[in-house]
Structure 1
Amino acid sequence: MTITKQLADFEALYRPQINTYLKENLPKDVDQTILSDAMAYSVNAGGKRLRPLLTLAVLVASGHADITADQLRAAGALELLHTYSLIHDDLPAMDNDDLRRGVATNHVKFGAGMATLAGDGLLTLAFQWLVDNQLPESQKTALVAALAVNAGPSGMVAGQADDISNEHHQLDLPALENLHRHKTGALLHYAVQAGCILAKTTPDETKALLHFADQFGLAFQIYDDLLDVTSTAEQLGKRVHKDAQEAKNTYPSLFGVDGTKTRLAAVVADAQAALVPLQQDSQLDVSLLAAFLSYFQIEG
């Protein structure tokens, strides 16, 4: 995987800030020791912090050179919610995974009951962080409303429900893309949308950025599907080849590996094209957002 220097420099600056903020502030809002440990266990297990980084990238692209503590808190709220979704996705009643980010999953470490509560705590705390800050009231309201839609029963949860209900039933491409726009794409859509809200982008800028976000979300899922069939558990930090074992709907199951690579290249090109109008007609520096597409480098 080739990561551009621009993106590497951005990550080197902001990922440690995100990690430090999460590690220092999460325990302040939890009143039960074991629950606090369980929540922190998954949040602090690592990860790319891709979603909060995308939020901050929109701010930087809009000319916000100095990220405030309140903006960092809002971005961190998304990582809390994302981590809740991973904990619940790994539960025995869902995917029953025992490895996440290279360590035992939350229910393996703390039991299914406490893991469920850890996810519940992170979900609700995410919304608390979006309002318990000094951001303008209009931004708080917009962030909460947008996250509720994208994370809820018309967003990510709907995608999870589609994923479960269509096991052992092969979907066609439109249905598969709809599933993944919800299951994976919704939180990536929100990540960019939150950046737009915080940066006060214009309606035209927001429209173009959200189109980029949606294509990025599709590319992310296609790439993840590819890695599940081409990588090892050591490389990914989670169990591989499980999609085929569980008869999940994936791009390789529909197109094969080579066809999936072709589909990925087309979606990445669409994401790149979504940024072109911004390069021509706005003051945004979209080179950093374009650099995020380097995540999807593939061999062959």
Structure 2
Amino acid sequence: MTVKEQLAQRAETVESFLSGCMKDRGIPPRLLKSMEYSLLAGGKRLRPVLVLSWATMLAPDEADMGDKVMPFAASLECIHTYSLIHDDLPAMDDDDLRRGKPSNHKQFDEATAILAGDGLLTEAFGLMSAASIVKGLPADRVLRAIYVLAIAAGSGGMVGGQVVDMEFTGRDDVPLEELREMHAMKTGALITAACECGAILSGADESDIDNAREFGKSIGVAFQIVDDVLDVVSDTETLGKPAGSDEEMGKSTYPSLIGLEKSKQLASQHIGAALKHLSNCTGPEKEFLEHLARYIVDRVY
């Protein structure tokens, strides 16, 4: 089975959990429909898969670790989805298409889309807590993971990165290092947190948690570089969102600063750095994470 097929299989498991996690919550029907419209619209489910993979790799003797961690893993998809809904709004990236379908504010309306994003973000913290309250993971592990994820998703992480991204839009003088720092906040923080939280929830020691964090940082950078490249070389049908929108909006990207080939080389370098942080790991999950890291870059070749 290829890594793409493995990722799709794992994504289906996450999707199955997500399909039921908003039910019977007392959510008004229109709001629920809007939340699930975006939450269940498909996608790689990369962030929850990373949580599950790190947790199960570092706790090989706990057969039900995946089940225990699943609510927390799903919370990252809720946070990621809320960010996409809000990013697509006219006040931000103003995109009409997401994952091959009309953006949430186009399918419903702006007010409903904003509230759907708010709802998903808030529900995420309920899911994080459920890893302890419902699934029985030690509360100290879950509390630490919540802390890590809240910082990654917040003002100094994903939200702050979106603000800086908007400040950079239309500028042609953004230094490469500042672009990297912005993407480390906007895209990389949540990917890094996924790996780190998986390690924390497994009960791993500090050295393993450090390796998970550094692995996440490196693949987060590579993932963003590849996204920038795909916006140039791919098409709207393949991407599921408007191709070429970065250039049209005047966004600073890796290809616009250093060109396509150097961007691809830089992404490969970051994947090489990520793989070093798996050197002390063993088992099938290590192999999956190695293949997954390489797959991130292989998408542009």
TM-score normalised over the length of structure 2: 0.92
Instruction: Name the residue aligned to 1:227.
Output: 230
Q: Deviations over 1:130-160 (max 9, x none)?
A: 1133332112211221111000001111111
Q: CA RMSD in A?
A: 1.8
Instruction: Name the residue aligned to 1:25.
Output: 21
Aligned partner of residue 239 in structure 1, secondary structure: coil
For residues 285 and 73 of structure 1, do their structure 2 counterparts lie closer, same or farther at Cα, with a shift above 3 Å needed? closer
Identity across matched positions, percent: 37
**Equivalent residue in structure 1 for 2:39, among 15, 39, 43:** 43
TM-score normalised over the length of structure 1: 0.92
What amino acid maps onto 1:115 in structure 2? A
Instruction: Name the residue aligned to 1:145.
Output: 147
Q: Deviations over 1:22-51 (max 9, x none)?
A: 111212324201000000000011000000
Instruction: Name the residue aligned to 2:158.
Output: 156
* CA–CA separation in structure 1 for the residues paired with 2:169 and 2:10: 38
Runs of 5+ unmatched residues, structure 1: none
What amino acid maps onto 2:150 in structure 1? A
CA contact (8 A) 2:54 2:285 kept: no
Runs of 5+ unmatched residues, structure 2: none
* CA–CA separation in structure 2 for the residues paired with 1:13 and 1:67: 18
For residues 93-132 of structure 1, the aligned pairs below 5 Å read: 93-132=91-130
For residues 237 and 141 of structure 1, do their structure 2 counterparts lie closer, same or farther at Cα, with a shift above 3 Å needed? same
Instruction: Name the residue aligned to 1:168.
Output: 170
Deviation at 1:65, TM superposition (A): 4.0
Aligned partner of residue 24 in structure 2, secondary structure: helix
Aligned partner of residue 64 in structure 2, secondary structure: coil
Structure with greater contact order relative to length (CA < 8 Å, sep ≥ 6): 1
Deviation at 1:295, TM superposition (A): 2.5
Aligned partner of residue 206 in structure 1, secondary structure: helix
Q: Deviations over 1:65-94 (max 9, x none)?
A: 434543111111110111000000000100
Aligned partner of residue 22 in structure 2, secondary structure: helix
CA contact (8 A) 1:6 1:288 kept: no
* CA–CA separation in structure 1 for the residues paired with 2:299 and 2:46: 19
CA contact (8 A) 1:229 1:240 kept: yes
For residues 1-300 of structure 1, the aligned pairs below 5 Å read: 5=1, 7-8=3-4, 10-62=6-58, 63=60, 64-132=62-130, 133=134, 134-169=136-171, 170-276=173-279, 278-279=280-281, 286-293=286-293, 294-297=295-298
* CA–CA separation in structure 2 for the residues paired with 1:138 and 1:29: 26
Compare 45-54 and 170-179 and name the one that shifted more.
Answer: 170-179
Aligned partner of residue 91 in structure 2, secondary structure: coil
For residues 39 and 155 of structure 1, do their structure 2 counterparts lie closer, same or farther at Cα, with a shift above 3 Å needed? same
Deviation at 1:209, TM superposition (A): 1.6
Compare 98-107 and 263-272 and name the one that shifted more.
Answer: 263-272
For residues 39 and 194 of structure 1, do their structure 2 counterparts lie closer, same or farther at Cα, with a shift above 3 Å needed? same
For residues 70 and 273 of structure 1, do their structure 2 counterparts lie closer, same or farther at Cα, with a shift above 3 Å needed? closer
Compare 285-294 and 246-255 and name the one that shifted more.
Answer: 285-294
Deviation at 1:298, TM superposition (A): 5.0
CA contact (8 A) 2:89 2:110 kept: yes
CA contact (8 A) 1:90 1:105 kept: yes
* CA–CA separation in structure 1 for the residues paired with 2:139 and 2:65: 18
For residues 68 and 259 of structure 1, do their structure 2 counterparts lie closer, same or farther at Cα, with a shift above 3 Å needed? closer
What amino acid maps onto 2:49 in structure 1? L
Aligned partner of residue 77 in structure 1, secondary structure: helix
